[in-house]
């Protein structure tokens, strides 16, 4: 197999690693250009480029960082005479002119059970919606977004309270394993791809910074899922006023627990109903209060959230009780 691999983010790394381990290292890697990062705006390699430089030892392996997949780029790719393309979290639409040069097509590894959750944020959407199952799909791409026929699929049962990084890594590994199992059968024509049912298709959106602003009128359960889904990007945040510093700032919420506002029956207390925290009255969404163990919490549309880990603006992550003590008078 003469493979060209298209990938940019860390999701692609397990597939690259397994291809190399099974002696299917690509003849070329196509990834995004280096980008400035941090306060110093230092040019930073993509995760895929960094991995290839450090971990893949193949003489003559090319790394192409293309701004556009235009006619000039396609002409360069044609000179390698590839017979298969593999895409994992590349981040660009592949034009038909490029698709057509691969005799065995372009296979894309997508982190959902297509046609559910087409688009750029399937993993975040899976957690945000509270799904209990997901998986990976390998499709033969066409000109439409995540639309091509299905080559292989594998399901994954989602552990309770999973975060985006954990689910991302699990699906990246699952997709890599499925790819290695699928390739030999695909190359000899043992797999007939199956068309997706467009009537069942759902779509995800490109997440923006403003998507991370918390609406406290939502239920505590929904916001808790949002915190797990949107870490690290776009993050979940709210505006706070420091009673001690007398300034407004943005507080990033990193880890939370749901506090039930309904009375909880405690078998040890002779059947007397007891609440889990001294909730303020009236219970207005967005109201801060302190739990009995010293952590900040906020009233939500339904129930409340206890802040276990936060990041004040311009500061490092800290435990919620340390934040309540150092920044707020609750």
Using pLDDT thresholds of 50, 70 and 90, give the confidence band for residue 244.
low
> Which pair of tokens denotes residue 35?
């980008």
In the chain, where the domains are located: 3-200, 209-327
Instruction: Say whether pLDDT at 245 is over 70.
Output: no
3-class SS at 3?
Answer: strand
Known binding positions for (6S)-5,6,7,8-tetrahydrofolate: 112-115
Q: What is the pLDDT of residue 27?
A: 93
pLDDT digit string, tens, across residues 105-129 = 999 999 999 999 999 999 999 999 9
Q: What is the pLDDT of residue 39?
A: 76
Instruction: Say whether pLDDT at 266 is over 90.
Output: no
Q: What is the pLDDT of residue 40?
A: 78
Cβ-proximal residues to 145 (8 Å cutoff; 6+ apart), any chain: 93, 118, 119
Q: What is the pLDDT of residue 282?
A: 79
Using pLDDT thresholds of 50, 70 and 90, give the confidence band for residue 57.
confident
- Per CATH, is 3-200 categorized as 3.40.50.720? no
pLDDT digit string, tens, across residues 209-234 = 999 999 999 999 999 999 999 999 99
Using pLDDT thresholds of 50, 70 and 90, give the confidence band for residue 311.
very high
Superfamily, domain 209-327:
Formyl transferase, C-terminal domain (3.10.25.10)
DSSP H/E element including 265: strand 264-265
Q: How far is CA 254 from the centre of its chain?
A: 15
Higher pLDDT among residues 275 and 201, named by residue: 201
Instruction: Say whether pLDDT at 273 is over 60.
Output: no
Q: How far is CA 58 from the centre of its chain?
A: 30
Using pLDDT thresholds of 50, 70 and 90, give the confidence band for residue 53.
very high
Taking the model in full, what pTM does it have?
Answer: 0.92
Instruction: Say whether pLDDT at 241 is over 90.
Output: no
Residue spans of alpha helices (H) in 22-93: 47-55, 71-78
Using pLDDT thresholds of 50, 70 and 90, give the confidence band for residue 59.
confident
pLDDT digit string, tens, across residues 152-191 = 999 999 999 999 999 999 999 999 999 999 999 999 999 9
Instruction: Say whether pLDDT at 148 is over 60.
Output: yes
Higher pLDDT among residues 244 and 162, named by residue: 162
Q: What is the pLDDT of residue 274?
A: 41
Q: What is the pLDDT of residue 268?
A: 43
Mean pLDDT of 256-277: 58
Using pLDDT thresholds of 50, 70 and 90, give the confidence band for residue 326.
confident
Q: Calculate the average pLDDT of the chain.
A: 91
Q: Is 144 left (phi over 0), alpha (psi -120 to 50) or beta?
A: beta
Instruction: Say whether pLDDT at 269 is over 50.
Output: no
Known binding positions: 112-115
> Which pair of tokens denotes residue 113?
């059970």
Q: How many CB atoms lie within 10 A of CB 187?
A: 13
Cβ-proximal residues to 31 (8 Å cutoff; 6+ apart), any chain: 6, 7, 8, 46, 48, 49, 63, 64, 65, 90
Best CA proximity match to 202, nearest among 270, 271, 147? 147
Instruction: Say whether pLDDT at 261 is over 90.
Output: no
Q: What is the pLDDT of residue 235?
A: 97
Q: What is the pLDDT of residue 264?
A: 45
Q: What is the pLDDT of residue 181?
A: 98
Instruction: Say whether pLDDT at 277 is over 70.
Output: no
Instruction: Say whether pLDDT at 271 is over 70.
Output: no
Q: How many CB atoms lie within 10 A of CB 87?
A: 23
- The CA distance from 90 to 32, in Å, is 8
């Amino acid at each position: 197999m003469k493979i060209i691999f298209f990938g940019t983010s860390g999701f692609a790394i397990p597939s690259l690693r397994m291809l190399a381990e099974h002696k299917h290292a690509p003849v070329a890697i196509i990834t995004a250009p280096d980008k400035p990062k941090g306060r110093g705006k230092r040019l930073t390699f993509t995760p895929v480029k960094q991995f290839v430089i450090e971990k893949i030892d193949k003489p003559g392996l090319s790394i192409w960082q293309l701004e556009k997949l235009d006619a000039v780029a396609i002409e360069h790719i044609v000179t390698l005479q590839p017979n298969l393309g593999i895409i994992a979290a590349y981040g660009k639409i592949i034009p038909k002119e490029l698709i057509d040069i691969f005799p065995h097509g372009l296979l894309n590894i997508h982190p959902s059970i297509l046609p559910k959750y087409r688009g750029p944020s399937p993993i975040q959407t899976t957690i945000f919606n509270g799904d209990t199952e997901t998986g990976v799909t390998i499709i033969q791409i066409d000109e439409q977004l995540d639309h091509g026929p299905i080559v292989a699929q594998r399901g994954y049962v989602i552990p309770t309270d999973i975060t985006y990084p954990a689910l991302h890594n699990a699906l990246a590994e699952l997709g890599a394993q499925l790819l290695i199992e699928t390739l030999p059968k695909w190359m000899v024509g043992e797999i007939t791809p199956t068309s997706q049912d467009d009537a069942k298709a759902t779509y995800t959106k490109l997440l923006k910074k403003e998507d991370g602003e918390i609406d406290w009128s939502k239920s505590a359960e929904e916001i808790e899922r949002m915190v797990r889904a949107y870490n690290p990007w776009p993050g979940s945040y709210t505006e706070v006023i420091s009673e001690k510093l007398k300034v407004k700032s943005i507080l990033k919420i990193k880890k939370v627990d749901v506090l039930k506002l309904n009375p909880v029956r405690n078998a040890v207390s002779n059947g007397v109903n007891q609440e889990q925290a001294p909730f303020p009255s009236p219970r207005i969404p967005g109201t801060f209060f302190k739990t009995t163990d010293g952590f900040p919490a906020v009233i939500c549309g339904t129930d409340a959230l206890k802040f276990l880990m936060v990041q004040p603006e311009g500061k490092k992550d800290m435990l919620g009780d340390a934040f309540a003590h150092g920044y707020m008078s609750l």
